[in-house]
Amino acid sequence: SDRLTLALCRMRGAALKLGQLLSIQDEHVIPKDSPLRAVIDRVREEAEQMPTDQLFTVLRDNLGEGWREKLEGFEEAPLAAASIGQVHRAKTLEGMPVALKLQYPGVADSIDSDISTLSFLLTPLAPRGLFLGTALKELRVAMVAETDYRAEARMTERMRELLASSAPAFRVPRVAWELCGDR
């Protein structure tokens, strides 16, 4: 169980996303005393943050060599970390606070291989009644969509337009396109 948990924590993307999806399942689907439940709970709690040198590489790859000149401020410690990336507080040159989402390197490119590995590792632990194959197919679809940060930015802008007449009841942040990259 410890080796499996460590392997899944290092996989980040698909492993953590599956943990999120499965952790909300009813106890009838994944009982509390199930070995799978124990692994899922530990993976969710023990996710590793992006090391600083890797963080700076992601910023350079997406925003260019002079990424620091595009920001008035940037907090190196993540505000939040999730299955496919982490979020950092930053401030644009105009002084606007932003949440800068940075994707873990390789997450988008390894979705299919990660899901294949998950299937191999978790099938023996899956309780009867859990349709792991179906869950993994849904996971793949969700991850492909979630790793497309430009599409997410376009949808955020669209929601901003649709809800503009509802202000101040709804506030949708403005996308700082000058800080948008693929990942």
What tens digit of pLDDT does each residue of 26-58 get? 676 677 787 777 777 776 666 668 899 999 999
**% of the chain surpassing 70 pLDDT:** 83
Percent helix, strand, coil in the chain (nearest 5)? Answer: 55, 10, 35
At 127 the pLDDT is 73
pLDDT higher for 130 or 173? 173
User: Hey, how many other C-beta atoms are within 10 angstroms of the C-beta on 65?
Assistant: 9
Confidence at residue 178, expressed as pLDDT on a 0 to 100 scale? 93
Measuring CA to CA, which residue among 51, 53, 48, 55 is closest to residue 88? 55
pTM here is 0.74
CA atoms of 93 and 179, how far apart (whole Å):
11
Using 50, 70 and 90 to split pLDDT, how confident is the model at 20?
low
Q: How far apart are CA 115 and CA 137, in angstroms?
A: 8
Q: Which has the higher per-residue pLDDT, 159 or 120?
A: 159
Nearest Cα residue to 8 out of 32, 38, 51: 38
Instruction: Give tens-digit pLDDT for 74-125.
Output: 999 999 887 788 999 999 999 999 999 999 998 888 888 888 888 887 788 7
Does the pLDDT at position 21 exceed 70? no
